Protein backbone atom coordinates (compact mmCIF):
# COMPACT_ATOMS: atom_id res chain seq x y z
CA UNK A 1 0.00 0.00 0.00
CA UNK A 2 1.28 3.44 -0.98
CA UNK A 3 0.44 6.41 1.21
CA UNK A 4 0.09 9.91 -0.15
CA UNK A 5 -1.60 13.19 0.70
CA UNK A 6 -3.11 13.26 -2.80
CA UNK A 7 -4.25 10.04 -4.48
CA UNK A 8 -5.01 12.00 -7.71
CA UNK A 9 -1.38 13.08 -8.18
CA UNK A 10 -0.01 12.16 -11.63
CA UNK A 11 2.85 9.90 -10.50
CA UNK A 12 0.63 8.18 -7.94
CA UNK A 13 -2.05 7.49 -10.58
CA UNK A 14 0.68 6.11 -12.87
CA UNK A 15 1.96 3.85 -10.05
CA UNK A 16 -1.56 2.53 -9.47
CA UNK A 17 -2.07 1.82 -13.19
CA UNK A 18 1.20 -0.17 -13.22
CA UNK A 19 0.47 -1.94 -9.91
CA UNK A 20 -3.15 -2.99 -10.19
CA UNK A 21 -3.18 -5.02 -6.97
CA UNK A 22 -1.41 -2.30 -4.99
CA UNK A 23 -3.53 -0.23 -2.64
CA UNK A 24 -3.53 3.55 -2.36
CA UNK A 25 -4.55 5.64 0.62
CA UNK A 26 -3.79 8.51 2.93
CA UNK A 27 -0.70 8.34 5.14
CA UNK A 28 -3.02 7.45 8.01
CA UNK A 29 -4.79 4.61 6.19
CA UNK A 30 -1.47 3.27 4.94
CA UNK A 31 0.25 3.34 8.34
CA UNK A 32 -2.80 1.64 9.88
CA UNK A 33 -2.76 -1.05 7.16
CA UNK A 34 0.99 -1.70 7.28
CA UNK A 35 2.43 -4.59 9.23
CA UNK A 36 5.83 -3.24 8.24
CA UNK A 37 6.12 0.42 7.21
CA UNK A 38 8.68 2.18 5.02
CA UNK A 39 9.25 5.88 5.63
CA UNK A 40 10.38 7.46 2.36
CA UNK A 41 9.67 11.16 2.57
CA UNK A 42 12.00 14.16 2.52
CA UNK A 43 13.89 14.48 5.80
CA UNK A 44 12.56 17.99 6.40
CA UNK A 45 8.96 16.75 6.33
CA UNK A 46 9.46 13.39 8.08
CA UNK A 47 8.00 14.64 11.35
CA UNK A 48 4.95 16.11 9.55
CA UNK A 49 4.39 12.90 7.57
CA UNK A 50 4.50 10.81 10.77
CA UNK A 51 2.04 13.17 12.45
CA UNK A 52 -0.29 12.89 9.45
CA UNK A 53 0.02 9.09 9.59
CA UNK A 54 -0.78 9.04 13.30
CA UNK A 55 1.94 8.04 15.73
CA UNK A 56 -0.23 5.30 17.24
CA UNK A 57 -0.17 3.40 13.95
CA UNK A 58 3.58 2.72 14.28
CA UNK A 59 3.45 1.06 17.70
CA UNK A 60 5.35 -2.24 17.85
CA UNK A 61 5.78 -2.24 14.06
CA UNK A 62 8.99 -2.33 12.07
CA UNK A 63 9.67 1.02 10.42
CA UNK A 64 12.27 0.95 7.66
CA UNK A 65 13.71 4.44 7.65
CA UNK A 66 15.03 5.32 4.20
CA UNK A 67 15.18 9.07 4.82
CA UNK A 68 18.07 11.48 4.67
CA UNK A 69 18.27 14.82 6.49
CA UNK A 70 19.00 16.86 3.37
CA UNK A 71 18.84 20.61 3.98
CA UNK A 72 16.92 22.96 1.69
CA UNK A 73 20.06 24.43 0.14
CA UNK A 74 21.91 23.43 -3.05
CA UNK A 75 24.88 21.04 -2.88
CA UNK A 76 28.35 22.61 -2.84
CA UNK A 77 30.54 21.07 -5.59
CA UNK A 78 28.26 18.03 -5.44
CA UNK A 79 28.31 17.77 -1.64
CA UNK A 80 24.84 17.85 -0.12
CA UNK A 81 24.20 19.71 3.13
CA UNK A 82 22.44 18.09 6.07
CA UNK A 83 20.36 19.82 8.74
CA UNK A 84 21.50 17.32 11.40
CA UNK A 85 24.84 17.05 13.22
CA UNK A 86 27.11 14.07 13.91
CA UNK A 87 25.69 14.08 17.46
CA UNK A 88 22.12 13.23 16.43
CA UNK A 89 20.87 11.61 13.24
CA UNK A 90 17.46 12.01 11.67
CA UNK A 91 16.80 8.37 12.55
CA UNK A 92 17.28 9.18 16.24
CA UNK A 93 14.83 12.09 15.95
CA UNK A 94 12.32 9.75 14.30
CA UNK A 95 12.80 7.08 16.99
CA UNK A 96 12.22 9.77 19.67
CA UNK A 97 8.99 10.75 17.93
CA UNK A 98 7.99 7.05 17.74
CA UNK A 99 9.42 5.40 20.88
CA UNK A 100 7.30 2.25 20.39
CA UNK A 101 8.34 1.67 16.76
CA UNK A 102 11.14 -0.72 15.81
CA UNK A 103 13.05 1.64 13.55
CA UNK A 104 15.68 0.19 11.19
CA UNK A 105 17.79 2.41 8.95
CA UNK A 106 18.10 0.96 5.43
CA UNK A 107 18.00 1.92 1.74
CA UNK A 108 19.06 5.53 2.43
CA UNK A 109 22.40 5.48 0.61
CA UNK A 110 21.48 4.01 -2.76
CA UNK A 111 19.32 5.36 -5.59
CA UNK A 112 15.77 4.07 -5.89
CA UNK A 113 16.45 2.68 -9.38
CA UNK A 114 18.80 0.07 -7.92
CA UNK A 115 17.14 -0.69 -4.60
CA UNK A 116 15.58 -3.88 -5.95
CA UNK A 117 17.69 -6.60 -7.60
CA UNK A 118 20.71 -4.41 -8.44
CA UNK A 119 22.90 -5.81 -11.20
CA UNK A 120 26.65 -5.41 -10.63
CA UNK A 121 27.85 -8.29 -12.81
CA UNK A 122 27.59 -10.87 -10.07
CA UNK A 123 28.99 -8.70 -7.29
CA UNK A 124 26.56 -8.27 -4.40
CA UNK A 125 26.44 -4.73 -2.97
CA UNK A 126 26.32 -3.95 0.75
CA UNK A 127 23.46 -2.27 2.58
CA UNK A 128 24.41 -0.76 5.92
CA UNK A 129 21.66 -0.97 8.51
CA UNK A 130 21.29 -0.10 12.20
CA UNK A 131 18.63 0.01 14.89
CA UNK A 132 17.93 -0.90 18.48
CA UNK A 133 15.65 -3.90 17.87
CA UNK A 134 17.61 -7.04 16.97
CA UNK A 135 14.57 -9.02 15.71
CA UNK A 136 13.51 -6.14 13.47
CA UNK A 137 16.98 -5.98 11.92
CA UNK A 138 16.84 -9.73 11.22
CA UNK A 139 13.55 -9.32 9.37
CA UNK A 140 14.87 -6.35 7.40
CA UNK A 141 17.97 -8.41 6.56
CA UNK A 142 15.70 -11.14 5.12
CA UNK A 143 14.02 -8.53 2.93
CA UNK A 144 17.38 -7.12 1.82
CA UNK A 145 18.65 -10.59 0.94
CA UNK A 146 15.58 -11.24 -1.19
CA UNK A 147 16.12 -7.85 -2.87
CA UNK A 148 19.69 -8.86 -3.81
CA UNK A 149 21.75 -7.15 -1.08
CA UNK A 150 24.20 -8.31 1.54
CA UNK A 151 23.54 -6.65 4.86
CA UNK A 152 26.04 -5.14 7.28
CA UNK A 153 24.47 -4.54 10.66
CA UNK A 154 26.30 -1.54 12.12
CA UNK A 155 24.71 -1.91 15.54
CA UNK A 156 22.51 0.42 17.52
CA UNK A 157 20.75 3.56 16.38
CA UNK A 158 23.75 5.89 16.88
CA UNK A 159 25.31 4.28 13.78
CA UNK A 160 22.78 6.24 11.71
CA UNK A 161 24.97 9.30 12.42
CA UNK A 162 27.40 7.84 9.87
CA UNK A 163 25.08 5.74 7.69
CA UNK A 164 23.04 8.83 6.79
CA UNK A 165 26.06 10.83 5.53
CA UNK A 166 26.96 7.92 3.22
CA UNK A 167 24.12 9.30 1.11
CA UNK A 168 26.16 12.49 0.67
CA UNK A 169 29.07 10.42 -0.62
CA UNK A 170 26.78 8.31 -2.81
CA UNK A 171 25.35 11.44 -4.51
CA UNK A 172 28.67 13.12 -5.35
CA UNK A 173 29.37 11.15 -8.59
CA UNK A 174 25.77 11.90 -9.56
CA UNK A 175 26.05 15.63 -9.13
CA UNK A 176 29.53 16.04 -10.61
CA UNK A 177 29.55 13.32 -13.33
CA UNK A 178 25.89 12.33 -13.70
CA UNK A 179 26.68 8.80 -12.48
CA UNK A 180 23.86 7.41 -10.36
CA UNK A 181 24.14 3.63 -10.66
CA UNK A 182 26.74 2.63 -8.09
CA UNK A 183 26.53 1.07 -4.64
CA UNK A 184 28.84 0.49 -1.68
CA UNK A 185 30.56 -2.82 -1.00
CA UNK A 186 32.32 -3.67 2.27
CA UNK A 187 35.36 -5.84 1.57
CA UNK A 188 36.49 -8.17 4.35
CA UNK A 189 39.54 -10.41 4.81
N1 LIG B 1 15.01 9.11 -4.45
C2 LIG B 1 15.97 8.26 -4.13
O3 LIG B 1 16.60 7.60 -5.00
C4 LIG B 1 16.33 8.03 -2.69
C5 LIG B 1 17.28 7.04 -2.36
C6 LIG B 1 17.59 6.80 -1.00
C7 LIG B 1 16.97 7.55 -0.03
N8 LIG B 1 16.07 8.52 -0.38
C9 LIG B 1 15.44 9.30 0.69
O10 LIG B 1 14.06 8.94 0.71
C11 LIG B 1 13.25 10.07 1.02
C12 LIG B 1 12.25 10.28 -0.10
O13 LIG B 1 12.95 10.56 -1.28
P14 LIG B 1 12.21 11.04 -2.62
O15 LIG B 1 13.24 11.19 -3.65
O16 LIG B 1 11.03 10.15 -2.90
O17 LIG B 1 11.75 12.48 -2.14
P18 LIG B 1 10.42 13.27 -2.31
O19 LIG B 1 9.96 13.19 -3.72
O20 LIG B 1 10.65 14.60 -1.69
O21 LIG B 1 9.42 12.49 -1.33
C22 LIG B 1 8.14 12.25 -1.73
C23 LIG B 1 7.32 11.84 -0.54
O24 LIG B 1 7.33 12.88 0.47
C25 LIG B 1 6.00 13.22 0.81
N26 LIG B 1 5.92 14.62 1.20
C27 LIG B 1 6.40 15.69 0.52
N28 LIG B 1 6.12 16.84 1.18
C29 LIG B 1 5.46 16.47 2.32
C30 LIG B 1 4.93 17.21 3.41
N31 LIG B 1 5.01 18.55 3.46
N32 LIG B 1 4.34 16.52 4.40
C33 LIG B 1 4.25 15.17 4.36
N34 LIG B 1 4.75 14.41 3.35
C35 LIG B 1 5.34 15.07 2.33
C36 LIG B 1 5.24 12.94 -0.46
O37 LIG B 1 3.88 12.80 -0.17
P38 LIG B 1 2.76 13.15 -1.26
O39 LIG B 1 2.63 11.93 -2.12
O40 LIG B 1 1.59 13.41 -0.42
O41 LIG B 1 3.22 14.35 -2.04
C42 LIG B 1 5.88 11.63 -0.91
O43 LIG B 1 5.39 10.55 -0.14
C44 LIG B 1 14.23 11.23 1.23
O45 LIG B 1 14.49 11.39 2.61
C46 LIG B 1 15.47 10.80 0.47
O47 LIG B 1 16.66 11.37 1.00
C48 LIG B 1 15.73 8.76 -1.68
> Each residue of 77-115: pLDDT tens digit?
999 999 999 999 999 999 999 999 999 999 999 999 999
Decide: 108 in ligand 1 pocket, CB within 6 A.
Answer: yes
Alpha-carbon distances, residue 8 vs 24, 52, 112 (angstroms) = 10, 18, 22
pLDDT band at 127 (very low <50, low <70, confident <90, very high): very high
pLDDT band at 52 (very low <50, low <70, confident <90, very high): very high
Mean pLDDT along residues 125-136: 98
Chain mean position to CA 76: 23
Mean pLDDT along residues 140-164: 98
Q: What angle do CA 18, 19, 23 make, to 5 degrees?
A: 140
Alpha-carbon distances, residue 142 vs 103, 118, 120, 151, 188 (angstroms) = 16, 16, 20, 9, 21
What pLDDT shows up at residue 155?
Answer: 98
Let me know: does 68 contact 94? Beta carbons within 8 Å: no
Decide: 40 in ligand 1 pocket, CB within 6 A.
Answer: yes
Q: Which atom of ligand 1 is nearest to the CA of 49?
A: 33
Report the largest interatomic distance among the alpha carbons of the chain, rounded to a whole angstrom.
Answer: 51
Compute the distance from residue 90 Cα to the ligand 1 centre, in Å: 14
Cβ neighbours of residue 10 closer than 8 Å, sequence gap 6 or more: none
Mean pLDDT along residues 65-88: 98
Q: What angle do CA 134, 137, 139 make, to 5 degrees?
A: 115
Whose Cα sits closest to atom 33 in ligand 1? 49
Whose Cα sits closest to atom 9 in ligand 1? 67
Decide: 66 in ligand 1 pocket, CB within 6 A.
Answer: yes
Amino acid sequence: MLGTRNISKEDVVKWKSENKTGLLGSFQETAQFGELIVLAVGGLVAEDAINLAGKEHFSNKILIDATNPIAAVPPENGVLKFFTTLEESLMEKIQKQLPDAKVVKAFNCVGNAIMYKPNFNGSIPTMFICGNDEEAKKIVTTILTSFGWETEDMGKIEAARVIEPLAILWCIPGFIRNQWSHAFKLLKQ
